[in-house]
Amino acid sequence: MDAAPVVIKSSVSLREDQHAFAKALVKAGRFPSVSAVLQQGLDLLQQQDADTQADRAALQALLQQRANGAFISADQLRAKLASQVR
């Protein structure tokens, strides 16, 4: 069983438009508080960062695989593509 996360109070500064948007989300019932809006935003940024890192790692692995693999000439590539189109 996981322990409940520790909540730390923090003071943040928002632009007027950001605060209005967060308050509108609360008023619409999508979030219980402005803090919950900000927490969701941070969770999304955290996930986006993790996704970006995973994408970069996958791309690096693919590039390394391609660099270590066999290369074909342009003529061989054209012939291969032509045979797939038929």
Residue 35: inside a domain, yes or no? yes
- Per the structure, how many domains does the chain have? 1
What token pair was written down for 52? 């970006």
Residue 57: inside a domain, yes or no? yes
pLDDT for 86: 67
Give 4-26 pLDDT, tens digit per residue.
889 899 999 999 999 999 999 99
Residue 20: inside a domain, yes or no? yes
Residue 11: inside a domain, yes or no? no
Give 59-78 pLDDT, tens digit per residue.
999 999 888 888 888 999 89
Q: Domain span at residue 54?
A: 16-85
Give 34-52 pLDDT, tens digit per residue.
999 999 999 999 999 999 9
Closest of 42, 50, 54, 49 to residue 5, by C-alpha: 42
pLDDT for 3: 85
Residue 39: inside a domain, yes or no? yes
Distance, in Å, from the CA atom of 77 to the CA atom of 31, rounded to the nearest integer, reads 54
Residue 71: inside a domain, yes or no? yes
CB neighbours of 11 closer than 8 A, spacing ≥ 6?
none
Distance, in Å, from the CA atom of 40 to the CA atom of 55, rounded to the nearest integer, reads 22
Asked if 36 and 28 touch (Cβ cutoff 8 Å), the reply is no
- pTM of the shown model: 0.69
Residue 9: inside a domain, yes or no? no
